[in-house]
Amino acid sequence: MSSPPDTGSRSSGDDSMHASVLLRSGPGEPLHHRRVTRPVPGPDDVLIQVYAASLDRVDNYIRRGTHGMAVTEPQTPGRDMAGVVAAVGTNVHGFRPGDEVIALGSRTHAEYALAPYWHTLRKPPEWSYAEAAALPTAGRTAYDAIVNITRVQPGERVLVVAASGAVGSFALQLSSHLGAEVYATAGQDWKRRTACALGARAALDHYRADLADQIRAATGGAEMDVIVDPIGGELWERLLTVLAPGGRIVTCGVTAGARGSLHLGRLMTRGWHIHGIGRPGRTQIAEHLRGCLDLMVAADQRPIVDRTFPLAEATAAHDYLEESDFFGRVVLTNMAEEPSTR
């Protein structure tokens, strides 16, 4: 069940809070659990008392300083959160203190964080805070890929690559709900079993060189109408060998590398539709957030949370995420509680 806002851990005049702070990017850099100034909402902001905030690969990249995301000044990571509205800006309508919400904001690995009201949604009462915090970035990305870009139809064959990842797990759930014949890939046996339990017809090992043969064996020789790929790199070329004529592939991540080759003759003769997930504007992001939430609720599905960590253990959570031995989302929780390490 949802918890009420924490009102007893500090005096009413205390404008500080605890947050996870990265001092600078670099190999082995820890996150520091320390007091910082509590943010003040601007006219369009919702100030949220955070009860859960999910981790994203981007958080890892910033911490390590890879993928062009190094920082040299202290920064609190995080974009996705769920919690209770603590205050609202003068332009905000429809939310008031005490409302339970999901939001896409900034610096969310903290006890309080801000989000623009247009990227704030009411939390389904049956969802936990951790489940709700898992939705924004990964959910809206998967929704855009499945519903808007590739326009998955009932009965189509959809291959979800790295189905254990944040985007992949949502893509698997959404495609299954839309009536697609879903296939998945994952790098470990237990992940492949989990993908099948969630609705995949079969789950294959994308680390094996014979991935295309595995897929054809699973489908009786049929090729994929849609492929959702958050990995990229050399795998991208192998995926194209099982994309049906006129098929659609959308790239929504490059965790294995940003380079891949494309035979233009095959593109011409096969008539493929190749898409990138893109960088939508605020209105589109808001539509994707609402669309994903509505579709998940209609399907009676919830975001998949692999494991939670207390805010004070953010470094351990980052290390766990980097090991890639998870299915779904890794989430920070217990933001408003007093960790024993203080």
Residue 122 is which amino acid? R
| Cα–Cα dist 249/225, whole Å | 8
- C-alpha distances (whole Å) from 285 to each of 18, 48, 111, 245 are 29, 19, 24, 31
| Cα–Cα dist 171/212, whole Å | 20
| pLDDT value at 111 more than 60 | yes
Yes or no: say if 121 and 131 are a contact pair by the CB < 8 Å rule: no
CATH of 16-134+305-333 given 3.20.20.30, 3.40.50.300, 3.90.180.10, 2.60.40.10 = 3.90.180.10
State mean pLDDT over 104-127: 98
β-bridge partners, 320:
none
Q: Give the least confident one: 170-174, 259-263, 300-304.
A: 259-263
| Cα–Cα dist 180/146, whole Å | 10
CATH of 138-276 given 3.40.1350.10, 1.10.10.10, 3.40.50.880, 3.90.180.10 = 3.90.180.10
Domain positions in the chain: 16-134+305-333, 138-276
**241: Cα separation from own chain's centroid:** 28
State mean pLDDT over 124-138: 97
Question: Regarding beta strands 305-310 and 243-251, do their DSSP bridges make them parallel or antiparallel, or are they unpaired?
Answer: unpaired
Yes or no: say if 314 and 339 are a contact pair by the CB < 8 Å rule: no
Identical fold between 16-134+305-333 and 138-276? yes
pLDDT digits (tens, 9 = 90+) for 279-305: 999 999 999 999 999 999 999 999 999
How buried is 295 (Cβ within 10 angstroms: 0-12 exposed, 13-18 middle, 19+ buried)? buried
pLDDT digits (tens, 9 = 90+) for 25-84: 888 778 999 999 999 999 999 999 999 999 998 888 888 888 788 788 899 999 999 999
| pLDDT value at 8 more than 70 | no
Indicate the pTM of the whole model.
0.91
Mean of the per-residue pLDDT values of the chain: 91
| Cα–Cα dist 12/71, whole Å | 33
Residues 291, 296, 302, 306, CA torsion sign: negative
